[in-house]
Amino acid sequence: MYAQMLCGLIMRNEVLRVGAVFASGLLRAIHFLQNNWKQLAHDIATGTLNPKITDAPVRECMRKILKPNPELAQFVTMECYEENWECIIKRIWPRTKYLDVIVTGAMAQYIPTLEYYSGGLPMACTMYASSECYFGLNLNPMCKPSEVTYTIMPNMAYFEFLPHGSSTSCLVDLADVEVGKEYELILTTYAGLCRYRVGDILRVTGFHNAAPQFRFIRRKNVLLSIESDKTDEAELQNAIENASLLMKEFNTSVVEYTSYADTKQIPGHYVIYWELLVKDSANAPTDDVLNRCCLQMEESLNSVYRQSRVADNSIGPLEIRVVENGTFEELMDYAISRGASINQYKVPRCVSFTPIMELLNSRVVSKHFSPDLPHWTPERRR
């Protein structure tokens, strides 16, 4: 990443797009620049490569590229020295036309942060894929993130679909899916996977000629559950977005989050870890605002959760734990050290692994609880 960032700065006027596979990866690169711009500027000014980069082929390649450029080093210093990093992508790479990142599903939470750093550049979601196989393409890549649909490419694998929320276990072929219905994706690949359950829930939105088009809805697995309640990824994401609106007037947004079902106490309760981007430290959200964020999240959750809170008293008040900036980067570093791919890494939306819990809890700077019960009436029960 250091060498790539250095090349990007040296060739700043040639860069036309900025991106990564996932939005989280692009934000990691921006944070990397925030943490390392002094060393990068030094290398540009002197035409030498940081000795911490020890890989011989990389050093040889960079030796051919690096030439002393004090003027560019001064520019990088002037842009990165300021605390305000709004529009930093367009300031550093002025010819950038768009961001090439996936911002559907759980990645949608990164959109406000990317807009802040990019100055509102368009975000192109070009493809739908996984480690196992490429699935499809977005035939309208410059559409709004909320309108992204993917056209399945039938030559990539053999695709089948399991109706979601139905009692039937009969698989549906690609040609037989119905508009408006949701399915779990099943694939058989050339590499040898047979009827592999990817775990993605898709909704059919229409057709391109005879090829179905799908919108990614969520991952299948339930994230949080204390008793009879079940909260999935899409519902948790929606609750986060609703709570985040309370911090808009403070120019603060949620950069990253994960969750944990704490059942060590009785009653158990949801714990949400937030890393915040506070754009004006003099106008940071107060404890009262963050407490209200907890309640707003609870109001956004399903009626079974709210019944458990209000009528059954089987779930305690939702808790938000704000962690230090950079905590989720440490989480990624830990995952990569255990063999995860940096390109395929996604922040886990629910955690329970002890070393991860210890890391998160060691970085907590404040704790906040829902100050009241969410609204629930028997008539609303479904």
Whether residues 229 and 313 fall in one domain = yes
Whether residues 187 and 295 fall in one domain = no
What is the average pLDDT across 31-44? 94
Task: Provide the residue range defining the domain that includes 212.
Answer: 127-219
User: What percentage of the chain carries pLDDT values higher than 90?
Assistant: 64
Reported as a single tens digit per residue, the pLDDT across 52-106 is 999 999 999 999 999 999 999 999 999 999 888 999 999 999 999 999 998 887 6
**Cα–Cα distance, 91 to 162 (Å, whole number):** 47
Beta bridge partners of 124: 100
Query: Which pLDDT band, with edges at 50, 70 and 90, does 30 fall under?
Result: very high
Reported as a single tens digit per residue, the pLDDT across 111-148 is 888 999 999 999 999 988 887 889 999 999 989 888 99
Q: Which of the two residues, 12 and 223, has the higher pLDDT score?
A: 12
Q: Record the tokens describing residue 377, joined without a space.
A: 């009436």
pLDDT at 380: 46
pLDDT at 382: 46
**Cα–Cα distance, 76 to 71 (Å, whole number):** 9
What is the average pLDDT across 349-361? 91
Whether residues 203 and 230 fall in one domain = no
* Mean pLDDT value across the chain: 90
Nearest alpha carbon to residue 235 among 249, 217, 253, 252: 217
Given a cut of 90, whether residue 149 has pLDDT beyond it is yes
User: What percentage of the chain carries pLDDT values higher than 70?
Assistant: 98
Other CB atoms closer than 10 Å to residue 327's CB: what's the count? 21
Whether residues 187 and 153 fall in one domain = yes
Whether residues 46 and 166 fall in one domain = no
Whether residues 239 and 359 fall in one domain = yes
User: Is the CB of residue 259 less than 8 Å from the CB of residue 235?
Assistant: no
**Cα–Cα distance, 146 to 215 (Å, whole number):** 9
User: Is the overall model pTM greater than 0.75, yes or no?
Assistant: no
Whether residues 63 and 162 fall in one domain = no
**Cα–Cα distance, 368 to 352 (Å, whole number):** 20
* 163 upstream amide cis, omega within 30 of 0: no
| Residue 156 in domain | yes
Reported as a single tens digit per residue, the pLDDT across 17-27 is 999 888 878 88
Q: Record the tokens describing residue 10, joined without a space.
A: 């040296």
| Residue 241 in domain | yes
Domain boundary among 78, 100, 124: 124
Query: Which pLDDT band, with edges at 50, 70 and 90, does 282 fall under?
Result: confident
| Residue 21 in domain | yes
| Residue 191 in domain | yes
Whether residues 251 and 279 fall in one domain = yes
What is the average pLDDT across 29-44? 94
Domain boundary among 124, 157, 192: 124
Using only the alpha carbons of the chain, give its radius of gyration. 23
Whether residues 280 and 252 fall in one domain = yes
Whether residues 214 and 236 fall in one domain = no
Whether residues 354 and 228 fall in one domain = yes
Q: Record the tokens describing residue 184, joined without a space.
A: 């779990």
25-29-32 Cα angle (round to 5): 135
The full DSSP string for 208-276 is ETTEEEEEEEEESSEEE-SSS--EEHHHHHHHHHHHHGGGGGGTEEEEEEEEEEE-SSSSBEEEEEEEE
The full DSSP string for 315-364 is B---EEEEE-TTHHHHHHHHHHHTT--TTT----SS---HHHHHHHHHTE
What is the average pLDDT across 244-251? 93
Whether residues 136 and 115 fall in one domain = no
Domain boundary among 71, 96, 124: 124
Query: Which pLDDT band, with edges at 50, 70 and 90, does 222 fall under?
Result: low
Domains in the chain: how many in total? 3
Sort 286 into a burial class: Cβ within 10 Å, 0-12 / 13-18 / 19+. Answer: exposed
pLDDT at 42: 97
| Residue 342 in domain | yes
| Residue 381 in domain | no
| Residue 56 in domain | yes
| Residue 182 in domain | yes
3-state class percentages of the chain: helix first, strand second, coil last, to nearest 5: 40, 25, 35
